[in-house]
Amino acid sequence: MKDFAAIDFETANNERSSVCAVGVVIVRGGEVVDRFYSLIKPEPKYYNYRCSQVHGLCASDTDSAPVFPEVWKQIEPKIAGLPLVAHNKAFDESCLKAVFRVYQMDYPDYDFYCTCIASRKVWPKGRHTLDVIAARCGYDLTQHHHALADAEACAAIALEIL
């Protein structure tokens, strides 16, 4: 796969619609050509302790952030015609669908690929977390759970094994 958009969401709480950050890496011809990151005002608008511990974000970080539809207007033209790739697509795809529902936006049925599933085929044994698989592909993920860093790691994995 040489043309795709790697995407990663962080959530504020256990609701999949509560996206509070997004990272997108655009790959064309096997090369990273664009990166996008934004904080997002989550819906519902509260943070739970566990999520904040994972990614380090809290309400004061996103109080003045744009809502999802405003952010998606910036992302949509960048990913037009590209399949989406995520590490654990079940999570990121469900977040995207949930936030589209919350804002009553028409979901365009993006083609979604999963680097986690692909990594299990390449390396049947061992852990398949993003940081472990990124390291196996030669990518040093030093800012794990930052949406853009995770999207960059996903892109590196996809270029290596998809």
Contact 41, 61 (CB under 8 A): no
Q: In the chain, which residues have pLDDT < 50?
A: none
Query: How does pLDDT run across 58-87, given as a tens digit for each residue?
Result: 999 999 999 999 999 999 999 999 999 999
Residue 50, domain CATH:
3.30.420.10
Hey, how many other C-beta atoms are within 10 angstroms of the C-beta on 133?
27
Instruction: Give the residue numbers spanning the domain of 119.
Output: 4-161
Query: How does pLDDT run across 123-134, given as a tens digit for each residue?
Result: 999 999 999 999
pTM: 0.96
User: What is the Cα gyration radius of the chain?
Assistant: 15
- Count how many domains the chain has: 1
Contact 16, 94 (CB under 8 A): yes
